[in-house]
Structure 1
Amino acid sequence: MSTSGPVKVVVAGTGFGRVYLDAVRSAPGRYTLAGILARGSDYSRALAGALGVPCYTDPEQIPGDVAIVCVVVPSGATGGPGAEIAQRLLARGVHVLQEHPVHATEITACLRAARAGNAAYAVNTLYPNLAPVRQFIDTAARLRTQQRILCVDAACNSQVSYPLLDLLGHALGGLRPWSFTDCPPPPGQPFRLLYAELAGVPVTLRVHNQVHPEDPDNHGLLMHRVSLFCEGGVLELADTHGPVLWNARLHAPRDASGRLRLAGPGTERLDTPSTSLIDGLPTPTFHHIFAHTWPDAVVHALDALRADIDEPGGRARAGRWALDVSLAWRELATRTGVPELIRPDTPRPVALETLLGEPCEEPR
């Protein structure tokens, strides 16, 4: 199956799969949307019709000239058949990019099917492929060549803890060895606190462990925030979608009497900004994130899978990494426990203008 020209891609799933559909259509020189695989609902059929592609209802219906199927159907981790669909396709020799989360046992089964079908397989955790996160990971790699990472502070909500581990592993250059120790929270605390070690680096991890059972994709208090500490300062991912910041470490010399020297000769290091913007990217609106930032991340994942198609040696590395992320996530999820069920109202937005006006009168 040639990958020299535009590669034919089918997307399985029309929920989050819509982001994948936008991704494939955004890169016409590299990928061609060749169909949708779904259960055959009116919505899926109408969507396929609007996009001018077939709507398949069984993996066996997908033609042999389709190179890649993006399986954006829940797997066993969330009670769906995604892993089974992936295995059937891989056994036929169809390359598969599967949306997370995926249990390690399912990944193992998919890797076996991939070897039997001589196909490439990868799990896409999406967020590490976002442009701001790629900038954070690339900067962390350069930082590690200069100084040792002393410790990490990270936070997320439980719905996106799986990709957080992928993100941290790339930022630290690996996950092994890992360990997690949980601290039972007092009543009323929405966050679970865990102490961990990843690749030998101490990590403090805070997980917002509450979920709305009928609306699990909303109501998280945050997505991802990560700070890497070293001797020279702190590299910070302020949010999943940026910005990336460098906080230089404050250190002033002392004079002969022990007083801090705040100016003059010998204080040149104090002439650096306390905080610098690393990525230089505009902070996107959520409309832009859904329409461009996330689809661009999917294209990045597709490009990595395509490289493994042409270079089979990369398939083993991708498989080992996917297993490590899933195994570490299983231990993390065990430590954090079942999320508390909440049913809050739709959150009220805060207009930025109201935060930039005259200061409010302080309470007496």
Structure 2
Amino acid sequence: MRTVVCGTTFGQSYLAAVAGLAGEFELAGVLGRGSARSEETARRAGVPLWTDVEEVPDQVDIACVVVRSSSMGGPGSELARTLLSRGVHVLQEQPIHHDDLMESFKTARAHGVRYRMGDLYTQLPAVRTWMAAARKLIARQRPVYLDAACAVQVSFPLLHLLGEALGSVRPWRFAVAGTSGPFTLVTGEVGGVQVTLRVQNEIAPNDPDNHTHLLTRATLGFEGGGLALHDAHGPVSWTPRLHIPDSVRGSFDFTAPDAGHLSGPSTAFLAVAPPSYRDFLAEVLPSAIGRDLLALREAVLDPMNAPRPEPFHLALCRMWQDLTAELGYATLLDDPEHRPVPVPGPGDA
């Protein structure tokens, strides 16, 4: 499928995703504003640079719209609908306003094409491991709490992965409870599970993609223990709830039958090993985007059997809007500097 990538900032990761799936997709060109970065991006990819959507040829099958949507002050949603009206299938990166998403679905149906909201975070290996483990645990025990944290830039993906893990986002509610350092404290519920959420509601205007203390973290708690996603790149761990049996309390007997569970690991790490940030950016992110691309391709080639996530995505957009309205405007960081700290060694204790 001949593919155009619209946007050359985060669009770089989409270009890498298309290149990694050369058997299914062919990069036809890049749509950008004509900046030096756009020109260099197209030159490096060996494809034309188009600076107006009308220049995109009719032979293009798929467009990846990696331009800020209207909810983020950009033209991405309008661009997506323009491409849909020309008969191009569209994958648009989140977050997207609920009303824009609805209009894009309507435009796609009217022109006989497919439109999909992309969210690479739920396609990341560590996140997929956490979500799958969560669903297995939910089949055995009822969740009793959610403890989560994120940077405001990735608040939508956090809600998305929580909804995927729980099987539903309804009912939801959010209320700001205060601030603690760089974090805004939010309480409420997601999918009927009580949640405590910390959001770093801070943005550096001149460098909005950096200076986050974390991406996404979540611990889903059960009577039997807690399943933790330490960040978007992992690791994932299961920590059984400590239960001290009578044999240990009464006679300090660890060989008694009721003490057998104490011999297991106090924390078990699931199969995903965290990558370096270089590998995360260069390989893991493009691979996750590739999964979204393949899902769109499947929907195009086999529309009768492809999943239809539209109602769930619309609910996510509504929930994200409720959360961001509760959070209010982000605090602006004044030209912060990046000060890397080396990993402490064993001898530093």
Question: Quick one: distance in 2 between partners of 1:103 and 1:231?
Answer: 37
Q: 2:117 pairs with 123, 131, 154, which one?
A: 123
Q: Which residue is equivalent to 1:276?
A: 268
Please say if residues 129 and 272 of structure 2, whose CA atoms lie closer than 8 Å, have aligned partners that are also in contact. no
Which of 321-330 and 48-57 deviates more? 48-57
1:356 aligns with 2:349: no
Local SS of the residue matching 2:214: coil
Q: 1:177 pairs with 162, 171, 178, which one?
A: 171
| Residue 215 (structure 1) shift | 1.2
**Which amino acid counterpart does residue 227 of structure 1 have in structure 2?**
T
Q: Which residue is equivalent to 1:3?
A: none
Q: Which residue is equivalent to 2:132?
A: 138
Local SS of the residue matching 2:82: helix
Q: Which residue is equivalent to 2:152?
A: 158
**Structure 1 runs not aligned, ≥5 long:** 1-6, 360-364
1:44 aligns with 2:38: yes
Please say if residues 176 and 186 of structure 2, whose CA atoms lie closer than 8 Å, have aligned partners that are also in contact. yes
1:346 aligns with 2:340: no
| Number of residues of Structure 1 aligned to a counterpart in Structure 2 | 349
Please say if residues 204 and 336 of structure 2, whose CA atoms lie closer than 8 Å, have aligned partners that are also in contact. no
Question: Quick one: distance in 2 between partners of 1:200 and 1:313?
Answer: 32
Question: Quick one: distance in 1 between partners of 2:113 and 2:200?
Answer: 38
Q: Any residues of structure 2 matched to 1:168-207 within 5 Å, and which?
A: 168-185=162-179, 189-207=181-199
Please say if residues 120 and 315 of structure 1, whose CA atoms lie closer than 8 Å, have aligned partners that are also in contact. no
Q: Any residues of structure 2 matched to 1:1-364 within 5 Å, and which?
A: 7-185=1-179, 189-255=181-247, 262-281=254-273, 283-312=274-303, 317-343=308-334, 345-352=336-343, 354-359=344-349
Local SS of the residue matching 1:284: coil
Question: Quick one: distance in 2 between partners of 1:341 and 1:260?
Answer: 55
Question: Quick one: distance in 1 between partners of 2:61 and 2:23?
Answer: 15
Instruction: Give the TM-score normalised by the residue count of structure 2.
Output: 0.94
Question: Quick one: distance in 2 between partners of 1:141 and 1:36?
Answer: 39
**Structure 2 runs not aligned, ≥5 long:** none
Question: Quick one: distance in 1 between partners of 2:78 and 2:90?
Answer: 12
Distance of aligned partners of 1:178 and 1:224 in 2 relative to their CA distance in 1, 3 Å threshold: same
Deviation track 1:65-111 (CA, whole Å, cap 9, x = no partner) reads: 32210000111112111101100111222110001111111111111
**Which amino acid counterpart does residue 3 of structure 2 have in structure 1?**
V
What is the alpha-carbon root mean square deviation over aligned residues? 1.9
| Residue 28 (structure 1) shift | 0.9
Question: Quick one: distance in 1 between partners of 2:307 and 2:267?
Answer: 40
Question: Quick one: distance in 2 between partners of 1:126 and 1:155?
Answer: 18
Local SS of the residue matching 2:12: helix
Local SS of the residue matching 2:189: strand
Question: Quick one: distance in 2 between partners of 1:260 and 1:95?
Answer: 66
**Which amino acid counterpart does residue 171 of structure 2 have in structure 1?**
P
| Residue 257 (structure 1) shift | 8.2
Local SS of the residue matching 1:83: helix
**Which amino acid counterpart does residue 59 of structure 2 have in structure 1?**
D
